[in-house]
Amino acid sequence: MVTEFRNESLANFNNQDVAKKMKDALAFVALHLGLEYPLVIGGEKVTSKDKIKSINPGKPSEIVGIAQSATIDQANAAIESAVKTFETWRYVPAKERADYLFKAAEVMKKRKFELSAWMVHEVGKSWAEADGDVCEAIDFCEFYAREAMRYGEIQPCLNLPGESDTLRYIPLGVGVVVPPWNFPFAILAGMTTAAWVTGNTVVLKPSSDSTVIAAKFMEIMEEIKLPKGVVNFVTGSGGAIGDTLVAHPKTRFISFTGSKAVGLHINELAAKHQKGQRWIKRVSAEMGGKDAIVVDSEADLEAAASGVVASAFGFQGQKCSACSRAIIVADVYDTMVEKIVEKAKNIKVGPTVDPQYNMGAVINKKAFDSITEYINVGKKEGRLVLGGDKAHEDGYFINPTIIADVKPGSRLEQEEVFGPLLAIIKAKDYDHALQIANDTEYGLTGAVYSKNKAKTDKAIKEFFTGNLYVNRKCTGAMVACHPFGGYNLSGTCSKAGGKDYLLLFLQSKAVGELVGQSSGGRP
């Protein structure tokens, strides 16, 4: 019997026994750095001539693992494998597919600390951020397994007299899944499993910055004995093989999470009909954000300052949901700036293998250079009140940086930075703050702090974000609690982790069947 869904519990690293498990996992991973991981096409492990090195951003001399740089021929072979497997996988009952997913969740629970340790090394996550990533992956598996069984049932319709009228959901076909590096296990697992648990087959192309944890996901698929060809694994750059996968005439849908620029490119490429293509491709895209926390004069200022700092600097600000703008009404502006700065000063930056550091390196040199450039822009557009400099000699570490007195409409107020850089903007009043919050091309997450219910109700009506939080931080969406996805150029509002999400991987078939007379012989 399938029990009611419950979110996976986060690890308490203040418990010595729990902390020891994490330390042991980190030691285990350290012994297995630098290994090579193959492509997986039709269940066969394949190598290529060119390789991709996954580097620890906190220690660039450390090679976490070596992946293959797939060729166009290998990308095409992965599609063909998925096409072939789809012809049988599509008819596997929903309950049987869901059982594979329940098994995957159990394996993830057993390997929880090891999986977290890989992300500490590969993308610089803190212990808590890495644990949250694995817990979310487990939640996706558990939740989507239950949802797949729900959608697998025949849906009743209003019956015409003399008819039995029903609707059923069927899979789309072959999907290309392109997950990001910032939630390299959770989002990858969520997007990929949602596709195959609904009867589709997949070509998975992870970010080149997080190939090793993606390979660990494929190990789990092998461990649960998921049929060969259901998930085909290819690593390589978007320019080398990504366009090939998206444009292939046998690709039925694309699920993408990443930058606005890449998301728009995928959407444009997928919209172009290819020779031999028999459908309009479906694109689900989660892209960028320029998320704001609005602080009213009637707010709990201590709670608001804590929420801003947690949202702005968790995982180095490398979340599409991160608070990159704190919009504060004039009456409490100076007080709030002071409180935010004081709390941010307590953040310890350094190699996250050491639990004393709760903020690690940004993902790579390109990100480091881009964020540094935005800091220089911010120094011209506003007033530097904290940070602005590199932390540590080795690695891509940037201290938490806060720029106050940023003007609405300026670059720092409008453009996504994706790093530990917070812009603070002064608003004349609460209505002006909401106006500023809405005045970007994005619409992903946001939060408001106010004890005045009329004001929070106004935000619920008017703050144009896919995920809005009241009197709490704007990061930390939980599966089944906060279906995740935004508006405008933040994406297609896919609502991952919600009851609508699996519909993105299904199409509906209505059946009207005449009853009460034989279906054979003469009328």
The Cα–Cα gap between 307 and 295 comes to 10
CB 294 within 8 A of CB 261: no
Gap between the Cα atoms of 360 and 400, Å rounded:
11
SS3 at position 254: strand
User: Measured between alpha carbons, how far is 137 from 130 in angstroms, rounded to an integer?
Assistant: 11
Sole residue written with tokens 């494998």: 81
Cα atoms found within 13 Å of the Cα of residue 356, Cβ hemisphere only: 1
- According to DSSP, residue 11 is labeled P
Is there a catalytic annotation at residue 320?
yes
Alpha-carbon distance of 142 to 103, in angstroms, equals 9
Contact between 117 and 26 (Cβ < 8 Å): yes
Q: State the maximum Cα–Cα separation within the chain, in Å, rounded to a whole number.
A: 87
Q: How far apart are CA 461 and CA 451, in angstroms?
A: 17
| Cα torsion 68, 72, 76, 82: sign | positive
Active site residue 106: no
Name the token pair of 252. Answer: 């039925």
- Dist. CA 491–CA 463, nearest whole Å: 17
What percentage of the chain's residues is helix, strand, coil (to nearest 5)?
40, 20, 40
Q: Which of 114, 142, 147, 286 is catalytic?
A: 286
Write the secondary structure of 346-395 as one string of H (helix), E (strand) and C (coil): CCCECCCCCCCCCECCCCCHHHHHHHHHHHHHHHHHCEEEECCCECCCCC
Question: What's the rounded Cα separation, in Å, for the pair 493 and 495?
Answer: 6
Contact 306, 449 (CB under 8 A): no
Set 320, 323, 474, 493: catalytic member: 320
Partners of 326 in beta bridges? 293, 424
Beta-carbon count within 10 A of 338 CB: 14
Contact 475, 310 (CB under 8 A): yes
Asked if residues 149 and 2 have their Cβ atoms less than 8 Å apart, the reply is yes
d(CA 407, CA 437): 12
**Structure tokens of 211?**
């190939």
- Whole-number Å distance between alpha carbons of 410 and 370: 17
First-to-last alpha carbon distance for the chain, in angstroms, is 46
Rounded to an integer, what is the distance from CA 501 to the centroid of its chain? Answer: 14
- Active-site residues, by number, are 286, 320
